[in-house]
Amino acid sequence: MGVIQDRAMARLTDKAGLAQLLTPRARLLVELTHELENERVDSVTDLRVRSVTPQSPLFPPDSRQGYWSQVVPSITRADFGWAGETAEPVWIDVLAEVEVDLVAETDPGGLDSLVVKAVDDYTTLDEFRAQFRFLDLDAFMASHGLRTVEDLRDSGEYLRTEVRLRRPPVFDPADPANRRTVGLDTAVVIGAMNDVAGAVRTARRVAAAARDRPLAPGPFGVRVAPYALAVAFPVPSPRPPPPEQGLGQAEIETLLGDAGIAALFLA
């Protein structure tokens, strides 16, 4: 790691400075690590870096499988397997424990009522059809070989189920009940603006090495990734770089965002 990367790592280990870099991307960090099934993030109010660890090693699991066989004195075959950690770690330049305060709308889901009634008060097919909102009666009768209302009645008993879903209350961003604090880990690797592809590959290696790590459940959404990936780029001088020196900041941010990686720029 050269002087530029060393200085970048020193800046990233400053919790206040790192929090300033991550705050504009706080919503993205949450979305990278959580699947929001019943929640909608309305706004982010604060981001705090609780701890930073420079040069954190990540040992991905490794496994080997095979078999051996013999023919003397008798035919024998046995399988064997070996599992452990790789000897060479994948390095995270800065591992940050982050807390994000946000305001979110939550749909509690669930049923308000469930009513099941017998359908037996009908004398014509139209009367039967009128008791259901979602039923193609002609297709139903054709698939069961039914022609008349008498055939329909003789084929069995019918039930109608009425389901009413619970309606969430009107969302109020000022309600303290809608405030959440989400904890997550951010894995930051240091890249170079003249080698964006290399930075993406490094971040991908971190993600691959961490894919089997257990995910602790949390109070917000469903945790889907152990780390939010970020790449920090020391910005060369003069700024912005001439076109022949590589992509601009906006292009890099768009490219990494589409890849599920947050882009940070160290001016």
Percent of the chain's residues with pLDDT above 70 = 90
In order along its 267 residues, the chain shows pLDDT tens digits of 578 888 999 999 999 999 999 999 999 999 999 998 888 999 999 999 999 999 999 887 766 677 667 766 777 777 766 555 566 889 999 999 999 999 999 876 777 788 898 998 888 999 999 888 888 999 999 999 999 999 998 988 899 888 887 777 788 899 998 999 999 999 999 999 889 999 999 999 999 999 888 888 888 888 999 999 999 999 876 555 555 557 889 999 999 999 999 999 998
**Burial per residue of 78-108, b for 16 or more beta-carbon CB atoms within 10 angstroms, e otherwise:** eeeeeeeeeeeebbbbbbbebebebbbbbee
Sign of the CA dihedral running 200, 205, 206, 211: positive
**Which regions of 107-227 does DSSP assign to beta strands (E)?**
111-119, 158-165, 179-190, 222-223
pLDDT at residue 14, as a whole number: 94
Taking the CA atoms of 164, 170, 173 and 177 in sequence, report the sign of the dihedral they define: negative
pTM score of the predicted model: 0.71
The residues that bridge with 165 in the sheet, in sequence order, are 111
